[in-house]
Amino acid sequence: MIENLLSRLSKVKRSGNNQWMACCPAHQDKTPSLSITDKGDGRILINCYAGCGTEDVLDSIGMSFEDIMPPKLIDNRVAPIKQRVYASDALKVIQLESRIVLMAAYELKRNKPMTEDDLARLELAMERINIATEMANV
């Protein structure tokens, strides 16, 4: 729940429709650099402009991905990759998703603001890389 999340952050300020800014709990943050977006379908997008991972942010406030994603969405995202067990497949996923992360990194470097869709895609890429990395490790 968004209220649950916001209550654990400091200097929370509404920045738009279903959007908030707050101090990032995962790094020393004096001015709010964490953006929170309530997608309205159970998903909450979290982005630290200093580059903290969503998982780190959630960890710092004692929450996990399950708290910001409905279980159904997590299943849907994980299932297609989970069925593949070969390391070469995992590598393909990492290769593809890394490109997305790299593109986002370049845009950040050029101070180009990312759209909500870009951020959502980036988050998906990060998670897919995590999953694929774990699988390739076997």
Element (H, E) at 133: helix 116-136
Q: Is position 27 an interface residue for Zn ion (rule: CB under 5 A)?
A: yes
Which CB, 52 or 122, lies closer to Zn ion? Answer: 52
Q: Does 52 bind Zn ion (CB under 5 A)?
A: yes
Stretch that binds Zn ion, among 20-28, 65-73, 80-88, 120-128 (CB under 5 A): 20-28
Contact region with Zn ion (CB under 5 A), list: 4-12, 24-32, 37-45, 110-118: 24-32
Q: C-beta of 91: minimal distance to Zn ion in Å?
A: 30
Closest CB to Zn ion among residues 25, 127 = 25
Q: Which of 1, 50, 87, 124 binds Zn ion (CB under 5 A)?
A: 50
Query: Which residues make Cβ contacts (< 8 Å) with residue 75, sequence separation at least 6?
Result: none
Please give the full DSSP string across 78-123, using - where no structure is assigned. HHHHHT---HHHHHHHHHHHHHHHHHHHHHHHTTPPPPHHHHHHHH
**Distance spanning both ends of the chain, measured CA to CA:** 35
Could you say which of 9, 23, 26, 46 contacts Zn ion (CB under 5 A)? 26
Cβ-based neighbours of 21, under 8 Å, separated by 6 or more: 11, 12, 13, 15, 32, 33, 34, 35, 36
**Interacting residues with Zn ion (CB under 5 A):** 24, 26-27, 48, 50, 52
